[in-house]
Amino acid sequence: MRTLCLVCVLLLPQVAFADVVGPEPESCPPGSQPAVSHSGPYCAPLAECSADSACGEGEACNPIQQCVETRGCGGLMPPDAEPCTLENVVGPCEGDGSCATGECRTRSVCSGEAAADGGCGCRVGARRGAPLGGLALLALGLLGIRRARR
């Protein structure tokens, strides 16, 4: 009877509380890269450059117009933490320099091609894979603990 109770307890779902954030966006507008925070997925602006020499091989420092919105970071809130914000690139500016969301900003970023006409040859940040290796190690560890209890 005691073994049956132990098995029932081990088979019950365990409640776990975690500080989890969602996945990064699948893609982002030119001049930004996928990122995630407690406020959700967003497209972080690429670092600005001032000259072609700051860029990698085959890249050039080019101006780009982006619609950028400022968001709260999420996570801890005052009084536990200072307010924080992040910038999310929503998309390119309209031809007249307007944005449906955010404000139009001209930034210089490294891109994969020279833009002699003042346009932009832009890159999009690479999408990183999910951290499945850590989950697999956790599952194997739990399996080992369960077998050791038997």
Instruction: State the Cα–Cα distance between residues 41 and 88, nearest whole angstrom.
Output: 9
Predicted local confidence at residue 29, as pLDDT: 94
The torsion angles phi and psi of 30, rounded to 5 degrees, stand at -55, 140
Residues of the chain with pLDDT under 50: 17, 115-135
Residue 89: per-residue pLDDT: 96
Identity of the residue numbered 46: L
Neighbour count for residue 110 (Cβ, 10 Å): 20
Report the pLDDT value the prediction gives residue 65, as an integer from 0 to 100: 96
Residue 110, both tokens: 């490294």
Q: Do residues 128 and 24 make contact, with C-beta atoms less than 8 angstroms apart?
A: yes
**pLDDT tens by residue, 102-141:** 999 999 999 885 544 343 444 434 334 434 444 455 555 5
Measuring CA to CA, which residue among 83, 56, 81 is closest to residue 71? 83
**What per-residue confidence (pLDDT) applies to 122?**
40
Q: What residue ranges in the chain does DSSP mark as E strands?
A: 32-37, 40-45, 60-72, 85-92, 103-111
Residue 125 three-state SS:
coil
Beta strand pairing status for 85-92 and 103-111?
Answer: unpaired
49 sits in which H/E element: none
Question: CA 34, CA 25: separation in Å to the nearest integer?
Answer: 6
